[in-house]
Structure 1
Amino acid sequence: MFDKILIANRGEIACRVMKTAKKMGIKTVAIYSDADKNALHVAMADEAVHIGPPPANQSYIVIDKVMDAIRQTGAQAVHPGYGFLSENSKFAEALAAEGVAFVGPPVGAIEAMGDKITSKKLAQEAGVSTVPGYMGLISDADEAVKISNQIGYPVMIKASAGGGGKGMRIAWTDEEAREGFQSSKNEAASSFGDDRIFIEKFVTQPRHIEIQVLCDAHGNGIYLNERECSIQRRNQKVIEEAPSPFLDPETRKAMGEQAVALAKAVDYASAGTVEFIVDGDRNFYFLEMNTRLQVEHPVTELITGIDLVEQMIRVANGEPLSITQDDVKINGWAMESRLYAEDPYRGFLPSIGRLSTYRPPAEIVTDTNVVRNDTGVYEGGEISMYYDPMIAKLCTWGPDRATAIENMRNALDGFEVEGIGHNLPFLSAVYDHPKFIAGEMTTAFIEEEYPEGFEGVNLPYADLERIAAATASMYRVAEIRRTRVSGRMDNHERVVPNEWVVQIGDLDFPLTIEADKTGSTVLINDKTLRCESTWVPGQSLAVIDMGDDRLTLKVGKTPGGFRIRNRDADMKVYVRSPRAAELSKFMIEKLPPDTSKLLLCPMPGLIVKVNVEEGDEVQEGQALCTVEAMKMENILRAERKGIVSKINAAPGDSLAVDEVIMEFE
């Protein structure tokens, strides 16, 4: 077995690979850019080598720099993680020339299947059903529009060397095809160093289901069941689960056998994933093969008990698989939520900055609940604009799908993140959505269910009642503490009133509290709710036992009450005396400033292109400029008709959030 492995990656995947390597007794080497000098993966490794400036194309994907790090440390093998150099055949060739093992498939398999154009041609030759498309190289936007019309809209524009949703666009019109081609080409060049683009038919109402395969260099190959990856936004997966709630055993077997046959056809050896589009009748079509570890691999590990990273390392060491197809079972159900540094209330735009609070739920393993969090960040660390916005993968397991979902809901409730925009509220909303609960989703789920973006969700009245009772009990604890500190209590006799009105939005909840040594009994709307908790003022997480239920609240202080976050809701909760609640109705509401005549930068980013000039008349929906952040290009469009009066930014400018890009008359 290897003595030392270099992980040619960063963030949570580098940390995840290191965990398995350490478990196997293998020393690890990290590489890092200027932006990552204080990163978690650097601290976890036995050794770390600096490889250059923050941009990936000047550090993490520069093969010569990675090879220098290997030579410096004497690493015998390299695990590439995913993204970056993981599917780069030139990197695998460089390792082979140096006598260093690549913890991944052979060069020939990478070249055959890692390139999406080549893999589709091979699949067609092998008789595998594929989605209609144009597999040749596309020279410019005009040709992209022509091909799109030949295939028929809608079409998917994809980077040949792409992955992780980068370099992918859906186009429904000639204009979208033209813009999408250029954006995909730019993103592909920036993220992968390969700007080749191809176009295929976009199948409407599809489910995205993938098969995990595992092969060795001795001709053995198995499939480890499937993962449902249909909850996507901008072609980037958000929530995955295993198994799929849609497949039956017959379809699972057929997809698995086809995936293994395809892998064996190119002498594949390592972990890999064959992705399919599955329609409503369970017809499946080959999409592509990812010749690397997938982001969502933990859900497969949780239902099979197989450590995929360990298997990859053993295969790279020349060992035959110790697992047969008959050994692969489905035990329970697993969910994965991708925690992204993006603001769901601002159109999911990337968010960067310091993690002033980062407290994941505790990782646990019981007979009915597993919580696992793969992460690459820590409290006080920085989220950089240079890399992918995913900062953690929160996974849960349960003996069945309903339990796995409930375990995830509770884990999300207990996940504290402050300092940046993040998608925790949105994730909670999806898990509460009736269609998701029923397993009725397609890759268009987010687009269809949140067409105007995410603005939070109103909790049911019964949930607000429970929150009102809980926060009143918490407020009473805080009031008692304040009276003791101020000396307003004589001999510790309670002088805090029992009657309060809790105001949540436009709703009032008059209530009465009777406290004892273990908690409070709250009379609200002719109901009696028992609240017991160890919460004390200043704690940012409150766990309240309410009979057979447990309520987990994220707590922030606000004058006269709390900022409360629970599930997918973010609320200001005021606890007032009956008279104060009555008078509060007459308070004047402060209105936000009018920014309707300004184009504000929605995230910290780099101005790539400005499409208009001062004096131009623009129409609603017209592209105004392009901002790049976290390797993704974002086209900002006019919200209404107007005339550009002033442009404050130019290509190459780095802007902070809400900086003014241009002004309108």
Structure 2
Amino acid sequence: MFKKILIANRGEIACRVIKTARRMGIATVAVYSDADRNALHVKMADEAVHIGPSPANQSYIVIDKIMDAVRQTGAEAVHPGYGFLSENPKFAQALQAAGVAFIGPPVGAIEAMGDKITSKKLAQEAGVSTVPGHMGLIADADEAIKIAGEIGYPVMIKASAGGGGKGMRIAWKEDEVREGFQSSKNEAANSFGDDRIFIEKFVTQPRHIEIQVLADGHGNAVYLHERECSIQRRNQKVIEEAPSPFLDEETRAAMGAQSVALAQSVGYTSAGTVEFIVDGDRNFYFLEMNTRLQVEHPVTELITGIDLVEQMIRVAAGEKLAFGQSDLKINGWAIESRLYAEDPYRGFLPSIGRLTRYRPPVEEATDAYAVRNDTGVFEGGEISMFYDPMIAKLCTWAPTRSEAIDHMRLALDGFELEGIGHNLPFLAAVMDHPKFTSGNMTTAFIEEEFPDGFDGVALGGDTLVRIAAAVTAMHRISEIRRTRITGRMNNHERTVGTDWNVAVQGQSFDAVVKADRAGADVTIGAQTLRVESDWLPGQPLVRLSVDGTPLVLKAARIPGGYRVRHRGADLKVHVRTPRQAELAGLMLEKVPADTSKLLLCPMPGLIVKVDVAVGDEVQEGQTLCTVEAMKMENILRAERRGVVSKVNASAGDSLAVDDVIMEFE
């Protein structure tokens, strides 16, 4: 077995590999860029080597710099994680030439299956059903338009060396092909150093289901069942689960057997994933094979009990698999929620900054449930604009799907994160969505259910009453604390009233509080709810019991009440005396500033291109400029017809959120 391995990656996956290596008694080496000097993976590793400037194309994907780090530290093997150099055959060749083990598949398998064009041809030769498309390279946008017309719209424009949604666009007409082709090439070049593009038919109403395979160098190969990855945004997976709620045993076995046969046909070893599109009749079509560890591998580990990173290391060290296909049963259900540094209230645009508070739920594992959080950040750390915006992968396991969802709801409720925009509210909203809870979803789920974007959740009446009762009890505790601090009276019962008015989500509730040492009875209308908690004023996470049912809130003081976040809802809850409520009803509401004649930068990023000039008349939907952030290009379009009166930015400028890019007459 290896004594020392180097992890050629960063963030949560580097931390994940380090944990398994440490358990196996293997020393680890981290590599880091300028931006990652104080990163968690650097702190966790036994050694760390600086490899260059912050941009990935000057550090993490420069093969020579990684090889220098290998030589400096004497590492015997390299784990590439995912992304970066994980599917680059030149990197695997460089390691092989240096006599260093690559903890991944052989060079030939990477070349055969890592390239999406070649893998489709091989899949067809092996008799695997594939999605119609153009397998050859495409020279320019004109050729792309011609090919798209022959295939039939809609089409998917994809980077041959791509992954993680980078270099991928859906086009429904010619203009979108031309625009998407260039953006896909740019993203592919920046993320993978390879700008080759291909086009395939986009299958409407699909489910994205993938099979995890594992093979050793002794001819043994197995599949570790499937993962459902249909909850996606911009082709980026957001929520994954294992197994799929859609597959039956017959389809699962057929997909698994086909995946293993495909892997064996190219001499594959290590962990890999075969991705399929599955239609409503359970017909499945090969998409691609990812010749690396997948982001969502934890859900497979939770239902099989197999540590995939450990198996990758053992296979790379020449060991045989210690189990066969018959040993791999499905135990329970696991769900993964990807926590991203992106603001769902601003169209899921990337957010950067310092994590002023980062308190994940406690990781635990019992026979009844498990909570796991794979992360690469810490409280006080910074989210950089240079890398993927994923903060953590929160996973739950339970014997059934409904129980796993229940535990995910509680885990999301208890996840404290402040300082940046993040998608926790959206993840919580999905967990309560009927289509998701029923398992009846496709890859179009987000577009169909949130067509106008995400602006929070409107909670039902019963939940609002529970929150109103809880916040009233919290307010009473705060008032008692306030009177004691001011020292106005020794007997707080004389200064804290029992009658209150609670305003939340456009509704008003009259509440009467009767407290005792163990909690409070809060009467709202004809309903009395028992509220108990050990919460103290100032604590941002509030765990309560309301009529014996757990309720978890994130709460912060605002004038006259609290900002409360729960299950995707972001609420202002005002608790007032009856007289204060009467006066509040007479107050005027503040009118937001008019920004309709401004194009504001929606995220911190770099201006790649400005498409208009002063004096140009623009039409609704016309491209105005392109902003790059976290390796993704974002095209900003005109919301209405107008004339450009001023342009404040040009290509190469770095902008902050809400900087004015241009103005209109």
Give the structure 2 partner of residue 639 of structure 1.
639
**What letter matches 1:211 in structure 2?**
I
**What letter matches 1:149 in structure 2?**
G
Give the structure 2 partner of residue 159 of structure 1.
159
Residues 481-505 of structure 1: CA deviation (Å, up to 9, x unaligned): 1111111223554420000011103
Distance 1:79 1:441 in 2: 35
Distance 1:454 1:319 in 2: 48
Residues 163-205 of structure 1: CA deviation (Å, up to 9, x unaligned): 0110000000100001110000000000000000000000000
Give the structure 1 partner of residue 64 of structure 2.
64
CA contact (8 A) 1:104 1:271 kept: yes
The alpha carbon displacement at 1:365 in A equals 1.1
Q: SS of the counterpart of 2:661? A: strand
CA contact (8 A) 1:480 1:494 kept: no
**What letter matches 1:541 in structure 2?**
L
Give the structure 1 partner of residue 586 of structure 2.
586
Residues 225-269 of structure 1: CA deviation (Å, up to 9, x unaligned): 000000000000000000000000000000000000000000000
Give the structure 2 partner of residue 269 of structure 1.
269
Give the structure 2 partner of residue 504 of structure 1.
504
Distance 1:307 1:313 in 2: 10
Task: Summarize the alignment of residues 200-599 of structure 1 with structure 2, pairs less than 5 Å apart.
Answer: 200-491=200-491, 493-599=493-599
Distance 2:68 2:384 in 1: 25
Q: SS of the counterpart of 1:71? A: helix
The alpha carbon displacement at 1:522 in A equals 0.6
Distance 1:124 1:462 in 2: 55
Moved more, 41-50 or 541-550: 541-550
Distance 1:463 1:491 in 2: 34
**What letter matches 2:285 in structure 1?**
Y
Distance 1:425 1:254 in 2: 37
Residues 65 and 499 (structure 1 numbering): CA distance in 2 closer, same or farther, change over 3 Å? same
Distance 1:323 1:634 in 2: 46
Q: SS of the counterpart of 2:410? A: helix
Give the structure 2 partner of residue 104 of structure 1.
104
CA contact (8 A) 2:500 2:575 kept: yes
Residues 526-554 of structure 1: CA deviation (Å, up to 9, x unaligned): 11100110000000000001233100000
Normalised by the size of structure 2, how large is the TM-score?
1.00
Q: SS of the counterpart of 2:596? A: coil
Residues 566-590 of structure 1: CA deviation (Å, up to 9, x unaligned): 0110001000001111111110111
1:601 corresponds to 2:593: no
Distance 1:486 1:611 in 2: 60
Distance 1:494 1:534 in 2: 23
Residues 3-58 of structure 1: CA deviation (Å, up to 9, x unaligned): 00100000000000000000000000000000000000000000000000010000
Distance 2:556 2:418 in 1: 11
Distance 1:132 1:491 in 2: 78
Moved more, 542-551 or 70-79: 542-551
Distance 1:529 1:477 in 2: 16
Q: SS of the counterpart of 2:250? A: helix
Distance 2:17 2:658 in 1: 38
The alpha carbon displacement at 1:506 in A equals 1.5
CA contact (8 A) 2:513 2:523 kept: yes
Moved more, 487-496 or 546-555: 487-496
Q: SS of the counterpart of 2:156? A: strand
The alpha carbon displacement at 1:301 in A equals 0.2
CA contact (8 A) 2:480 2:492 kept: no
**What letter matches 1:358 in structure 2?**
Y
Task: Summarize the alignment of residues 604-623 of structure 1 with structure 2, pairs less than 5 Å apart.
Answer: 604-623=604-623
Distance 1:93 1:356 in 2: 42
Give the structure 2 partner of residue 50 of structure 1.
50
The alpha carbon displacement at 1:295 in A equals 0.3
Distance 1:380 1:175 in 2: 44
Distance 1:236 1:217 in 2: 32
Q: SS of the counterpart of 1:621? A: coil
CA contact (8 A) 2:231 2:239 kept: yes
Q: Which runs of 5+ in 1 are unaligned?
A: none
Q: SS of the counterpart of 2:22? A: helix
**What letter matches 1:315 in structure 2?**
V
The alpha carbon displacement at 1:592 in A equals 1.2
The alpha carbon displacement at 1:474 in A equals 0.3
Q: SS of the counterpart of 2:162? A: strand
Q: SS of the counterpart of 2:585? A: helix
Q: SS of the counterpart of 2:298? A: helix
**What letter matches 1:76 in structure 2?**
E
Moved more, 390-399 or 543-552: 543-552
Residues 498 and 129 (structure 1 numbering): CA distance in 2 closer, same or farther, change over 3 Å? same
CA contact (8 A) 1:335 1:397 kept: yes
Distance 2:36 2:142 in 1: 40
**What letter matches 2:453 in structure 1?**
G
**What letter matches 2:200 in structure 1?**
E
Distance 2:655 2:289 in 1: 38
Q: SS of the counterpart of 1:121? A: helix
Q: SS of the counterpart of 1:161? A: coil
Normalised by the size of structure 1, how large is the TM-score?
1.00
**What letter matches 1:234 in structure 2?**
R
Give the structure 2 partner of residue 662 of structure 1.
662
Distance 1:492 1:458 in 2: 36
Q: SS of the counterpart of 1:110? A: helix
Q: SS of the counterpart of 1:20? A: helix
Kindly report the root-mean-square deviation, in angstroms, between the aligned alpha carbons of the 2 structures.
0.6
Distance 1:492 1:597 in 2: 54
**What letter matches 2:346 in structure 1?**
R
Q: Which runs of 5+ in 2 are unaligned?
A: none
